[in-house]
Structure 1
């Protein structure tokens, strides 16, 4: 019962939590990014232009964020870097694309934005490709 109210999690619990966060964010964002990726491969570049970069360029940036970066987050490769395009993408969606919509329509982009920010701050955790590639002695230390 004491562990239920502990304010300091174990190191393994933190790393399992980061794994679950990455799998959740990466997997759910991929459900939005994969259809866009297949649309891009078919040559259909029709899209909106929310920040004035041009519809085609905006679409390519969204595909990079929602497909490529989501995939990188999912496996934990370059997680902090991959989180940056996701943060930009979901900031634009929340504050510009859905600015006039009710909160229920903005809730999912806000959740994705916050989860991406958390990964930018924390990194991918022990159970990731990032950790497997990190050969520094400090990466193996327990908390």
Structure 2
């Protein structure tokens, strides 16, 4: 019974759960990003919101950068706390600007993505990541 209600984390399970969350959210976002990348590369007219006033093509390019490149970095756990910023900004703009006047059902999914990206900003990428490998190498410098 004590184990069920314990608030201390099992470190092994913590890192596995963090990897699962990181990998899942990055793959899901990558799917959205690849659809936008196809739209950007299609050569046809681009229909995409321009909430920041930087131009439709530039807005789409920024979204593709965040959703494709940053998602790949998050998946492998490389510079997670840095590359999560473009995704946080993208989700913030989607939730509060693009769909700011829409109902909860439209804003729910990007709000959940925003929450996960804020979580990754705080926790980092965890043990199963390139970040962890790099930080371990710094502890044991080669002579």
What TM-score, normalized by structure 2, do the two folds share? 0.89
Q: How does 1:25-104 map to 2 (within 5 A)?
A: 25-44=25-44, 46=46, 47-104=48-105
User: What is the distance in 2 between the residues matched to 1:137 and 1:109?
Assistant: 38
Contact 2:18 2:126 in 1 (8 A): yes
* Residues 36/5 of structure 1: CA separation in 2 closer, same or farther (3 Å cut): same
Q: Helix, strand or coil: the match of 2:81? A: helix
User: What is the distance in 2 between the residues matched to 1:67 and 1:45?
Assistant: 21
Q: How does 1:17-28 map to 2 (within 5 A)?
A: 17-28=17-28
User: What is the distance in 1 between the residues matched to 2:113 and 2:18?
Assistant: 14
Q: Helix, strand or coil: the match of 2:100? A: coil
By how many angstroms is 1:44 displaced? 4.3
Root mean square deviation, CA, Å: 1.5
Contact 2:26 2:71 in 1 (8 A): yes
Contact 1:125 1:131 in 2 (8 A): yes
By how many angstroms is 1:52 displaced? 1.0
* Residues 45/8 of structure 1: CA separation in 2 closer, same or farther (3 Å cut): farther
* Residues 44/66 of structure 1: CA separation in 2 closer, same or farther (3 Å cut): farther
- Given candidates 121, 137, 140, the residue that maps to 2:139 is 137
Q: Which runs of 5+ in 2 are unaligned?
A: none
* Residues 74/13 of structure 1: CA separation in 2 closer, same or farther (3 Å cut): same
Query: Which stretch shows the higher mean deviation, 67-76 or 105-114?
Result: 67-76
Contact 1:76 1:130 in 2 (8 A): yes
Contact 1:30 1:71 in 2 (8 A): yes
User: What is the distance in 2 between the residues matched to 1:4 and 1:81?
Assistant: 35
Alignment correspondent of 2:8: 8
By how many angstroms is 1:38 displaced? 2.2
